Chain A
C-alpha cells in the first residue's frame, strides 16, 4: 500500500481553549452520567435528585452556551466539530427545550406512574445528540449525532410501555427513522465517494474548486442526505409518521420532539445545505431543479399540514399536523435564504420562536391530560377559561402565536420570514404561505372558542385542580417570552443575524 492517510495526531490533542468551548457538552454529559448513578442509589428520592442534577447540568450548559454566542468560530477535533455562534445559539435553544420539557414532565410522570430516572437520563442524552448535530461539520458526526438523538427519542416515545398506542408509535418511529437514517448514511457514502472527504466545508471547497466533481452520483448522494433530514423535519412526502407518533407519545415528549428534534434537524440541514453549494450558482441547471423541488415540497407541506389539521378533534394530533405546516413555512425560509439579505436568520429566529410556542402549548396539554393522555379532545377543553383561567390564557397566547397574530412572537418571526422570501422574489410562495396561515387560524382559534365560549362538561376526565409548580413556571416563562419577542423583536432579529453571518 502506498501512502494512505494516517490519522493526524492533531486530532487527538485538545488545547485549553478548545476544552473550554466544549463546556456545554461536559456539563451535559456529566449531568447525564451523574444522573445515572444517582438514579439507582436507593435511599435518595430519585425523582427530585435526578431532576436537580439534570437541571444543574442544563443550566450550567445554558450559561456557557449563552456566553459562546458572540464568540468567533473555532474548529474542534480537527474539523469534525465547530463551535461558533450558530451552534451556540442552537445549543441554548436545545438546552432551554430540555429544561422546559423536564419542568413540564415532572408531575406528568407522577400522573402516569412512570417516574423513572431513565426518563430524565434519556432526555439528557437526546439533548446531547441535538447539541452535537448543531455543531457537527462531518457527515459521520452528523449521523452519529442524529442517531444519539433519535435512539433516545425512540425509547422516550415508547416510554409508556403498557400503553399500546405508545408502543405502536415508538415502533413506527423507529422503523421509519432507521430507514431514513440509512438513506442519509448511504447518501453520505455517495458523497464521500464523489468528493473524497467527509467534512462538509471541505466538500464545499472541493466542489467550488473543481466543478466537475458534481457528478450524478454527487447529486444522488446530496439529495439522499437532504431527504434524510427532510424525514426528520417531517416534510411532505416524508411526513406520514408524524401524526401517529405525536399522538402516541407521552405529551411532554411530543413537545420535546416537535421542538428540539426539529430544530436540531434544521440546524444540521442548514449547514449541509450551505455546504452543498446550493445558492452559489455552481450548477445552475440542477440548482433550478432543486429550487423547484423544494418549492413543491414547501407548498405541499404547508397545505397538507394545514388542511388535515382542520379535520382533527384531538388536540395532540391537531398540533402534530400544525407542526407539519410550520415545517412548510420553514422550508419557504430555506428556499429564500440563499437569495435574501438576511440569509438563514429568519429561519433561526422562527425555530426559536416556534420552540417556545410549541413547548408552551404542549406543556399546558401535559398539565391538562388525564391518565394515559385522555381528555385532550376539543370538547374536553370546553370551558377551560372558567376552570383554569391562567392555563387557558397561556394556551390562548400560544395559539395566537402559532397562528401568527400580532403582538405575539409568532407574528414577528413569520413576518421576518416572509419578508426575506419577498426579498428573494418568491412572491408566489409568500402568497400561498399567507393563504395557509389564514386557513390555520381557523383550527387554532376553534380551540379558543371551546375554551371560552362553551360550558365545562360534566364528564371531563380528571382536570387537575391545581397546576404543578414546575410546569406553571415553565409555562409562565414561555408566555412572557412569546409576548416579549412579539412586542420587541429587534433584539432577537439582531442575534440571529449575527449567528448566521459566518456560516
Chain B
C-alpha cells in the first residue's frame, strides 16, 4: 500500500516550494510572485494525500474488524546495541480518522490560504511551511512507534513557531512564536521522560508491541503502579504543552499573531489535537492509573472553565476563538480523563470542523473589514457578507451544542460520560455543563456583535486608502498588504470564492458530522473498538431515560445562555452598564486572570536572575578558568612535544628502535 506517500507528498511540496523560495525569491531584486503557483502546488499535494488517506480508509473498512491495520516499514534508522529504531508507518482505525481530518481539513485550508495570502510578499515560504507542517503532523499520527510520533511532535512544534512568527519583522509576533515554542518545549521535557519510563518498563517503544503487552494481564499486574502513574503524568505534561491545557496553555492566545489560516489549521484542527491522539493511542496505559486519569479529567475541566470565563471578556475576534479552542480542548481531555477516549476523539473531529470553519470565517471577516479584528468595531455584517454570515451561523450553533448539529452530539457524549460513566464525577459534570453555558454565551456574544445589529464602523473610511485599524494584524511594512483594495469595491465586501467555498464545505460537515456518533448507534465508537475498548455493559450508572433527561438539560442550558446573550447584546448600552457594574471582575477576565503576569513573576524573572548570577559568578569565574587552563596546558605540551620532531632521519630511526625495544622488553618480560 502506498502509506508512505501520505506524509511524503506534503514533504515534496515543502521541498519544491522551499527551493523555489530560497533560490529564486531570496535573490535580491526578485520580483514579487503571486500566491497562485506555490498555493496550487501545496494544495495539490495535500489533496492527493487526502485521496490516498481516503483509499486507505475504505480499504480498512473492507477488512474484518481485527485486521484493520496497515503497516509499512520504510528503513532502519538507528541500530545501537539492543536499541532498534525503525522508521515505519502504521494506520489503524484510530489514525485513519486523524489522517482524514488532517488532509481533508488541510486541503480546505490550503485552498482558503491561496485567497487569503494573495497579496503576501512571500507566499512560497508560507506554503512551504504549511506543507511541512502537514508532513510533521501526518508523521505524528502515522508513526508506528513513540520516537516517530515524537519526531512529528517536535516537527509540528517547529512549524508552529515558524508560522506563528511568520511576520517576524514585528517583534511582538516573533515573540508569540517564541512563546509557543518554549511552552511546547517545557511540555516536551515531560514527554521525553515519559518515553524513557515506557522504554524502561516495556522494553520497547513500538505501539504494536506496547498495546500487545498492555493486553496481557500478567504483564500489567507486574507493573509498578507508581511508575505507571508517573509515566502517564509526564506524558500528560507533554499534552498540556502541545494541546494548551493548564498550566501551559498561555501560548495559544498569543499564537493568534499568525495568519488566520495558520490559526485554523494548527490551532483548531490539528496540532492541538496531538495530545488527544497520544492519549487515545496509549489509552490502555492511562486506564491503568486512576490517579492520572483523575488529574487529566480535573485539569481538562478546569481549563475548559477558565478559558470560557476569559473568552467572555475578549474583544478580539481571534482571541475569543483562541480561548474557545482552549476550552474545547479541555472538554476533550475531560472526556479522556473519565475514560471516554472515543468521545474525546469524536469531539476532536467535530471540533476540527466547526472551529476551523469559524477561524476561516473570522479570517473572512477580517479580510472584508480590512484588518479590523475588534468585534466592538464591527456589527451588521449579515447583509454585507452573506456567505460568511450563514456559515459562521452554522459554526456558532454547532459549538453551542444545539442538535442536530455536530457539536451537540460530541459534547453531549462527553457530558454523559462525565455524569454516568465508569469514572464519573458529578462535580466535573457540573463544571462541564456550566462551561457549556458559558460557551454558548460568549459565542453568541461574538456572533451577535460581529454580524447582527447596526454597523459600528465608518464604512466610507475603509477602502482604497485606509486599512481601518490594524492592531494585531500587521504585514511586512510597505508593500505587501493583502487587501490593497485599489481594485474591487470600496468598503466591506464578501470574500472571493476561493475563501468561501471551504467555508461552505466545512459548514456542511459541521451540520452532518455529528451523525457518526449518535448515542447507542455510534458508528464511531464501534469503529474505534480495536484501539479503544468499549465500555462493558452496565457500566453506566444511569439508564436511558436518565440519559435523555441529561440531554434535554444540556440543550436547554445552552439555549438559555444563547437567549440571555442575545438579549444582553441587543441593547448595547445596558451591556455596557452591566460591564461597569462588574468592572473588577470584567477587568480580571479581560486580562486573562493575570496568568501571564503571574508566570513572569514566579518563574521567568527568578530564573533569569539566577541565570545571570550563574553566568557571571560561576561560568565565567570558575569554569572558564578551568577550561582555559586546560587549553593552555595542552598548548604548552604541544609546543614541548613538537621539538622532538627534529627533522633528522637519524633521530627518527633511533626513536623507532627505541620504541620497538622498549615494548619488546615489556612483552617478553611477561613471558619469562
Residues on A facing B (Cβ under 8 Å): 171-172, 175-176, 179-180, 183, 216, 219-220, 223-224, 227, 231, 236-238, 240-241, 243-244, 283, 285-286, 288-290, 292-293, 297, 304, 306-311, 415-416, 419, 423, 439, 442, 488-491, 493-494
With both beta carbons as reference points, the residue of chain B lying nearest to A289 in the complex is identified as B670
Q: Are A180 and B656 interface neighbours, CB within 8 A?
A: yes
Q: Determine whether the beta carbon of B77 is less than 8 Å from that of A488.
A: yes
Cα distance A307–B639 in the bound complex, in angstroms: 8
The distance from the CB of B102 to the nearest CB of chain A, in whole angstroms, is 26
Check B653 against A285 for contact (C-beta < 8 Å).
no
CB<8 Å pairs between A and B, sample of 25: A172-B652, A175-B653, A216-B668, A216-B672, A219-B667, A223-B664, A224-B664, A237-B662, A238-B656, A238-B660, A243-B645, A283-B671, A286-B670, A288-B670, A289-B666, A289-B669, A292-B666, A293-B663, A293-B667, A297-B663, A308-B638, A310-B635, A419-B80, A442-B631, A488-B75
The answer to whether A309 and B638 touch across the interface, beta carbons within 8 angstroms, is yes
Asked if B521 lies at the interface with its beta carbon under 8 angstroms from chain A, I say no
Residues of B within 8 A of A419 (CB): 80-81
Partner of B671, one of A219, A297, A494: A219
Contact A220 B668 (CB under 8 A): yes
- Asked if B652 and A285 sit within 8 Å, CB to CB, the answer is no
List residues of chain B with CB within 8 A of the CB of A290: 667
- The complex places the Cα of A236 from the Cα of B76 at a distance, in Å, of 39
In the complex, chain A residues whose CB is within 8 Å of the CB of B664: 220, 223-224
Chain A residues in 8 Å Cβ range of B79: 490, 493-494
Q: In the complex, what's the smallest C-beta–C-beta distance from B650 to chain A, in angstroms?
A: 10
With contacts A176-B649, A223-B663, A442-B631 taken as known, whether A304 is within 8 angstroms of B668 at the C-beta atoms is no
Report whether A240 and B656 are in contact in the complex, using a CB–CB cutoff of 8 Å. yes
A289 to B75, CA, bound (A): 44
**CA of A285 to CA of B671, assembled, Å:** 7
**9 A-B pairs with the lowest CB-CB distances in the bound complex, closest first:** A237-B659, A289-B670, A240-B652, A311-B638, A307-B638, A310-B638, A490-B76, A307-B637, A308-B638
User: Do B645 and A244 have beta carbons less than 8 Å apart?
Assistant: yes
Contact residue among A176, A216, A304 (Cβ-Cβ distance under 8 Å from B656): A176
Q: How far is the CB of A64 from chain B (nearest CB, A)?
A: 27
Interface status of B599 (Cβ within 8 A of chain A): no
| A423 to B80 CA separation, bound complex (whole angstroms) | 12
In the complex, A286→B670 CA distance in Å? 6
Q: Which residues does chain B contribute within 8 Å of A309, judged by CB atoms?
A: 638
Residue-wise, chain B 624-635 has the 8 Å CB interface mask toward A (1 for contact) of 000000010011
With the chains together, A180 CA to B655 CA distance in Å? 12
**In the complex, chain B residues whose CB is within 8 Å of the CB of A311:** 635, 638-639, 642
Chain B residues, Cβ within 8 Å of A307: 634, 637-638, 641
Instruction: Report yes or no: B663 in contact with A227, Cβ–Cβ below 8 A.
Output: yes
User: Which of chain A's residues have a CB closer than 8 A to the CB of B670?
Assistant: 285-286, 288-289
CB-CB under 8 A for A231 and B642, given A286-B671, A490-B76: no
Task: Give the residues in chain A near B77, CB-CB below 8 Å.
Answer: 488, 490
Cβ contacts under 8 Å, B486 to chain A: none
CA distance A419 to B80 in the complex (A): 9
**Chain A hits for B655, CB < 8 A:** 237-238, 240
Given that A307-B641, A310-B638 are known contacts, is A172 also in contact with B663, CB under 8 Å in the complex?
no
**Alpha-carbon distance between A286 and B645 when the two chains are bound, in angstroms:** 32
B78 proximity list for chain A (CB < 8 A): 489-490
Interface presence of B538 (CB below 8 A): no
- CB-defined contacts of B635 to chain A, threshold 8 Å: 310-311
Q: Are B649 and A289 in contact (CB-based, < 8 A)?
A: no
CB-CB under 8 A from A306, the residues of chain B are 634
Q: How far is the CA of A96 from the CA of B649 in the complex (A)?
A: 33
Complex alpha-carbon distance, A493 and B667, angstroms:
34
By beta carbon, the residue of chain B nearest A435 is B630
- Report how far A470 CA is from B172 CA in the complex, Å: 50
- On chain B, the residues within 8 Å of A183 by CB distance are 660
Cβ < 8 Å to A, chain B residues 592-647 = 631, 634-635, 637-639, 641-642, 644-645, 647
Q: How distant is the Cα of A288 from the Cα of B671 in the complex, in angstroms?
A: 10
Q: Give the distance in Å from the alpha carbon of A304 to the alpha carbon of B637 in the complex.
A: 9
Chain A residues in 8 Å Cβ range of B667:
219, 223, 286, 289-290, 293
Instruction: Decide: A310 and B659 in contact? CB cutoff 8 A.
Output: no
Any chain A CB within 8 A of the CB of B651? yes
Residue B658 lies at the interface, judged by CB distance under 8 Å to chain A = yes
Report the bound CA distance from A311 to B642 in whole Å: 8
Contact A175 B649 (CB under 8 A): yes
In the complex, the chain A residue whose C-beta lies closest to that of B652 is A240
